[in-house]
Amino acid sequence: MEYRQLGRTGLKVSPLCLGTMNFGPETTEQESQRIMEQALDAGVNFFDTANVYGRQPGEGVTEQIVGRWLEQNPGKRDQIVLATKVYGKMSDGPNDQKLSAYHIRKACEDSLRRLKTDHIDLYQMHHIDRSTPWEEIWQAMEQLVREGKVLYVGSSNFAGWNIAQANTLAAQRHFMGLVSEQSLYNLNARMIELEVIPACRAFGLGLIPWSPLGGGLLGGVLQKAESGRRASEGVQKQIEQHRPQLERYEALCRDLNQDPADVALAWLLHNPVVTAPIIGPRTADQLSGALRAIEIKLSDETLKALDEIWPGPGNQAPEAYAW
């Protein structure tokens, strides 16, 4: 396993990040523990979760599953880089959501309790909060860092200008600021190439793409349909919308003798701004498949073919739409 530095930090993480959103709602606790064990044994040391995962509002079900695994395996806490998130609504209380200093402090303490740990390695803001000033947000995050409860701060679903604003103000406070951004990014969703990726590059953030397979669209849906596996209604609509592209894409993958899901992950890993796509296996077998993507090297010819099938904006802004 060749580890990558997370953005401009000295922290090294695996080139795939284990996403845990399925733990609880889709995957039993026993299978979730098997997945975490297998991931760590394979060298995946980057685990991502969130306080809102688990589909039971306010319960933090997924964090609790991760926490019980850590409690049962105390030596493994220091073997992983543990990331979680703050922003989502955790109760009906007016202050139990978003990014006020009040909520950041409480949400962090609650996540630490559920995760059975004394610190969070990467604490990510799950969304931009336009109602809270950055001075308040950074003051709260600085306090958590001083107390040793948080090591690094990241963002998720931020616009490029949000990243620029946040890190400019952090620098004025002599604080490191954001070190990572977690964004929707895959072959079929390339809008962040306009401004988010250039902002990550300029400010030294590691990009952590979520939904790298486009909700399953890039995972060989046509091939699976032929074998009798029925996609969800939402994916079926996307199949009809993108059928010509999917036919060309899956044919290219067959020519490469690679699974479509692995090619989609390898394409993301080719981008030097990308630190680690988030994989969200529901089973241990799905994890084994995703790990193959690390070994795939895509040629310039293949990259060009993928751009032709799944065209992005063509450049960063403003060159993508202006002279």
3-state SS assignment for residue 152:
strand
Which residues are 48's β-sheet partners? 19, 83
Of 135, 141, 165, 163, residue with least CA distance to 153:
141
Give how far Cα 320 sits from Cα of 189, 192, 313, 315, Å. 15, 12, 6, 5
Nearest-10 Cα torsion for 5, 8, 10, 16: -20
Q: Tell me how far apart the alpha carbons of residues 283 and 93 are, in angstroms, rounded to a whole number.
A: 36
CA-based angle 112:170:277, to the nearest 5? 60
| Two structure tokens written together for 260 | 């479509």
3-state SS assignment for residue 223:
helix
- DSSP-derived letter for residue 229 is P
Q: Residues 53, 87, 152, 185: which is the catalytic one?
A: 53
**What is 234-247 written as a DSSP string?**
HHHHHHHHHHHHHH
**What is 154-212 written as a DSSP string?**
EEES--HHHHHHHHHHHHHTT---EEEEEEE-BTTB-GGGTTHHHHHHHHTPEEEEE-T
Can 185 be counted among the known catalytic residues? Answer: no
- Which are the catalytic amino acids? 53
